[in-house]
Structure 1
Amino acid sequence: MEIFSWLPVKSIARCRCVSKLWNAVLRRPDFTELYLSRSSSRPQLLFVLRNMDGVVFFSSHQPQNPVENSSFAVASHRLSHLPCHSGIVGPSNGFVLLRGVRGRKKQGLVSLQFNPSTGQLLPLPQVKTRSRMFGTFSCMGYDSVKKQFKALSVIFSDAKFEYSYLTLGIGKPSWRLVECCIPHLPRTEGICINGVFYYVGTRLKNSSMIVCFDFSSEKFSFLNLSGPMENATSLINYNGKLGSVASDSFNGGDTGFELWVLEDLEKKEWSNHVYVFPPVWQNVVEKTILHFSGVVGTNEFVFVPITLSDPFYVFYYNVEKNTVVRVGVRGMEAFGGYRVKAFSNHVENVERIRAF
């Protein structure tokens, strides 16, 4: 298993075909945990390219502490043109959730649990309601305590909201209602950090808040957005903590940004950080429009262009050194003009999705 854990995912798939013994070994939970541990030491950037036809997945090596603008990475192709119309949630423990995928004739649009490493996908069962449904919001996260993937669904129907969750991977999953003391409408795609899913929600009186759903306890909690934090509605993973900034898009004209970090969820305590870009930021970024992709290590902020161009660069801003480095990414040139969404610190997971 030690040797297997260093192989790429495609080689693991081939090795499963060698014999029944190898297949059994490579499906064991302890091997999955070992492979995840190895993958965590070599995290990747996961690129999701999107146009009217659907989404395309790529991944590339994530450089640690890049120091030269001349460095580059090569992106490897994952899956082409999977029809996805309502956004992507993730990744969480190597898996993502695709929303608004065309299902069977009677299903309409469904959500899919998807493993970019293996290409496996599984449609989530549709949520049933007796009321007239006007819309749904679905998200997925990983419960590290029970080692299970779980999904949350918010249904808007006849001026009321219903909240349900399901557990994936054990038997036939079924949605279960969960109580929520504050009716709200989800406003952002959200992010899962350490088993808690965060997204910005709007109350019926149009006031905003951060909604927290703990996949382990399966309970809601809420964080008010008031005062100086009122506009900090773009959520990121900051070293395993929830981070919030006022905007998700940046360009060479920006001088810096303000970051709020949730230090204690129970006490609802935040810390505030103000970062000022160095003068070279304007020359390196120029007119490129960027979005946050995450944080590498403890001090490297990752910015990715929102549109794929040739050449294509990823920008790393080191807050301690106050430096900006751009790294070229090759291999995606055939998809010029596609919209780009990127996730840093992606890990490869060889766990196979269990059908139901």
Structure 2
Amino acid sequence: MEIYNPSTRKSITLPNESSADYIYLGYDPIDGDYKVLCLVKAQDLRVLTVGKDTFWRKIQDFPPHFRCSPYSPDLSLIGVLYYGVYHHLPDGILLHPDHLILAIMSFDVRSEIFDLINLPELLDNVMHPILTTYEGRLEFFCNIRHGDSTFILWVLEDDVKHEWSKHLYVPPPLDGHTYDDFLAFCFIDGGEFVLAPRPFRSEEPFYAVYYDIKKNAVGRVFIEEIFT
């Protein structure tokens, strides 16, 4: 297991943990430490401080949770690592077929304290949840088939009280297509959704669509060649 820095083109070899299920990297801006968090097996979390620890340290106290499947989004922001998880619903509430609900786990990189953040709404039709930032705050969006062209963005206003604000955006019409033909896979901090065609066909010209929420304008960028 290695961590590679593309800017320096150097890598660091970590102590072997062959049974790791998922791995996340967080940064502590106060002490300047990078920490790697991994789930070794069900409900067994371990952490390692890069360049300081010679072995993985087992974490004893954390809210029970499970990795989002098949995709677990993650984001490191101002000393806190956020990643998507599932956790059990309260007793008697059966909204999800497997009795799990999507949430966001926060991990304070410096103190190594966990906090489970519930999403602002109970979403039972989430497709590829994505964590992002906008104007220095944690945000969340996902691909949900609404049958219209509305984009929904949730902003974490208070990470202690777990308070979210909901923002709706209706983009202008897209010539020759509907927004159901695209998959939003990225949100740029400057205020743009980036969308790609769904499904991708290698024989057709490929282009990305940018939707600017500030200007309420859309644009396209054609990609001349795709390597598959």
Q: TM-score, normalised by structure 2?
A: 0.76
Contact 2:101 2:122 in 1 (8 A): no
Output the CA distance in 2 between the equivalents of 1:248 and 1:318. 19
Within the alignment, does 1:115 sit opposite 2:5 as a pair?
yes
Q: Which residue of 2 aligns with 1:102?
A: none
Q: How does 1:297-316 map to 2 (within 5 A)?
A: 297=190, 299-304=191-196, 307=200, 309=202, 311-316=205-210
Q: Which residue of 2 aligns with 1:176?
A: 57
Q: Rate the CA distance shift 1:329–1:259 in 2: closer, same or farther, 3 A.
A: same
Letter in 2 for 1:181: F
* Aligned with 1:189 (options 48, 51, 73): 73
- Deviations along 1:4-49, one digit per CA (max 9) or x if unpaired, are xxxxxxxxxxxxxxxxxxxxxxxxxxxxxxxxxxxxxxxxxxxxxx
Q: Which residue of 2 aligns with 1:247?
A: 143
Q: How does 1:1-356 map to 2 (within 5 A)?
A: 110=1, 112-127=2-17, 136-156=21-41, 160-170=42-52, 173-187=54-68, 188-204=72-88, 205-225=99-119, 227=121, 233-247=129-143, 255-279=149-173, 281=174, 283=176, 289-297=182-190, 299-304=191-196, 307=200, 309=202, 311-330=205-224, 333=225, 335=227, 338=228
Q: For 1:277, what is the secondary structure of its paired residue?
A: coil
- Deviations along 1:287-310, one digit per CA (max 9) or x if unpaired, are 85433222242x322334575857
Contact 2:149 2:180 in 1 (8 A): no
**Which consecutive unaligned segments of at least 5 residues does structure 1 have?**
1-109, 339-356
| Pairwise CA distance, 1:206 | 2.2
| Pairwise CA distance, 1:215 | 0.9
Q: Rate the CA distance shift 1:164–1:259 in 2: closer, same or farther, 3 A.
A: same
Output the CA distance in 2 between the equivalents of 1:228 and 1:194. 27
Looking at both structures, which has the greater relative contact order when contacts are Cα pairs under 8 Å and sequence separation is at least 6? 1
Q: TM-score, normalised by structure 1?
A: 0.51
Q: For 2:116, what is the secondary structure of its paired residue?
A: strand
Q: Which residue of 1 aligns with 2:92?
A: none
Q: Which has the higher helix share?
A: 1
Letter in 1 for 2:151: F
- Deviations along 1:186-234, one digit per CA (max 9) or x if unpaired, are 1113222222221221225523321111112211001123645565643
- Deviations along 1:246-288, one digit per CA (max 9) or x if unpaired, are 31799xx851221111012112111110111211x25367785
**Which consecutive unaligned segments of at least 5 residues does structure 2 have?**
89-98
Q: Which residue of 2 aligns with 1:95?
A: none
The number of aligned residues is 211
Which structure's CA Rg is the greater one? 1
